[in-house]
Amino acid sequence: MNVGVAHSEVNPNTRVMNSRGMWLTYALGVGLLHIVLLSIPFFSVPVAWTLTNIIHNLGMYVFLHAVKGTPFETPDQGKARLLTHWEQLDYGVQFTSSRKFFTISPIILVLQIVPTSFSLYMNVLSPTHLPPGQALLSCFSQYFIHV
């Protein structure tokens, strides 16, 4: 295994997210994280979803947008050293399928918070049935109680 050998794929980091099974692994990883959080007895379902979101976003932020360069030497003479992984994906071509997938996935995760907490709130936590917009606001209002 030649670390740093010159081959036509100048920066293998660009192709990693396109490889076979990567998306599935990512989805399974997020699922596993969520299940682990759900199994902790203190957390209720909406808290588990919120935590999943937070941890997932933190992790993605660190690995895709904060860490710069490549973990191996590339023959491109350091062109990728100042680029985050997100910028390196597909050599900077925008709106490729990987980029779209990873843009949409946190949105989907966030959208999971509303239904789970909404129904819980409606049936268990609140006797009154507030309209959806107000319900959403009330869900998060407890966090802004000090404002």
Region of residue 77 (left: phi > 0; alpha: psi -120 to 50; beta: else)? left
**CA–CA distance from 62 to each of 26, 56, 75, 85 (Å)?**
15, 10, 25, 10
Using alpha carbons only, what angle is made at residue 100 by residues 66 and 89, rounded to the nearest 5 degrees? 45
Nearer to other proteins, 16 or 130 (CB): 16
Region of 14-22, 45-53, 85-93, 123-131 interacting with other proteins (CB under 8 A): 14-22
29 is a contact residue toward other proteins (CB under 8 A): yes
Tell me which long-range contacts 28-35 makes (C-beta under 8 A, separation of at least 24).
30/56, 30/105, 30/109
Nearer to other proteins, 60 or 139 (CB): 60
Of the residues 35, 40, 67, 93, which one makes contact with other proteins according to CB under 8 A:
67
Region of 65-73, 91-99, 104-112, 128-136 interacting with other proteins (CB under 8 A): 65-73
Report the distance separating Cα 55 and Cα 60, nearest Å.
Answer: 8
CA 81 and chain centroid, separation = 23
Region of 19-27, 98-106, 122-130, 135-143 interacting with other proteins (CB under 8 A): 19-27
Of the residues 28, 35, 36, 66, which one makes contact with other proteins according to CB under 8 A:
28
Beta bridge partners of 84: 68
Nearer to other proteins, 78 or 115 (CB): 78
Helix (H, G, I), strand (E, B) or coil at 68: strand
Interface of this chain with other proteins, residues 69 to 128, rule: CB under 8 A: 69-75, 81
66 is a contact residue toward other proteins (CB under 8 A): no
List contacts with other proteins (CB under 8 A).
Answer: 1-9, 12, 15-16, 19-22, 24-25, 28-29, 67-75, 81
